[in-house]
Structure formats: C-alpha cells, structure tokens
Amino acid sequence: MCRALAERTGRRVEPAFLELCTPDLVTAAGTLAGEGHRTIVVVPYLLAPGRHAREDLPRLVVEANATIDGVEVVLQPIFGEDPAILDLLAAQLDR
C-alpha cells in the first residue's frame, strides 16, 4: 500500500506499525527526519475509532514531536471518519 501510494502521489511514504511489525511510528518519523523531512503527516490506515485511534496514535505523535528535534508530526483522521469511504463502499456494492 505504501509503495503504491508513493508511486501515485510522488511523495515519500514510510510505513509505521502499532504492533506486531516494525518500524513503529516514532522510529519511522525519525527515519524521515534523518532524510531532512520537517513535516511528517501520519495517515492512519484504520477504519474504526478504537483504542489505537483514540489513545495509541495520539500518544505516539506526542512522543515523536517531543523526541525528534525540528520536526512537526501531524496526525490525520482515520479513514473511517472520511465520507469518501461510504462512496467507496457504495461503489463496491454496485459492482
């Protein structure tokens, strides 16, 4: 998904994981900061506003902002809160 998004947008996309895989968000943000990126936008690939969206991600963004000098880490809303998801689901039903 990250590779496809990078190819489509021409932007640097670095995956980060909340559990079970690496790198975590703070490590991924550090990698991007090391490459010279000063604004890092976190786009959570989540559909439901569960614990990860409510607690874990905001905490990790605060941690990244506090520990990585000269970088602003910005958290976007989860996909499940975007009305475009309903359009996508409706289109799938019409296939």
Q: Structure tokens of 48?
A: 């439901």
Whole-prediction pTM value?
Answer: 0.88
pLDDT at residue 22 in the model: 97
What are residue 11's phi and psi, to 5 degrees?
-105, 160
Q: Is 22 exposed, middle or buried (0-12, 13-18, 19+ CB in 10 A)?
A: exposed
Q: Can you tell me the mean pLDDT for 66-91?
A: 93
How far apart CA 7 and CA 53 sit, in angstroms, is 26
How far apart CA 71 and CA 62 sit, in angstroms, is 11
Q: How confident is the model at residue 82 (pLDDT cuts 50, 70, 90)?
A: confident
pLDDT at residue 10 in the model: 96
Domains in the chain: ranges and CATH: 13-93 (3.40.50.1400)
Tens of pLDDT, residue by residue over 22-74, are 999 999 999 999 999 999 999 999 999 999 999 999 999 999 999 999 999 99
pLDDT at residue 25 in the model: 98
Answer yes or no: is pLDDT of 76 > 90. yes
Chain CA centroid to CA 67, Å? 18
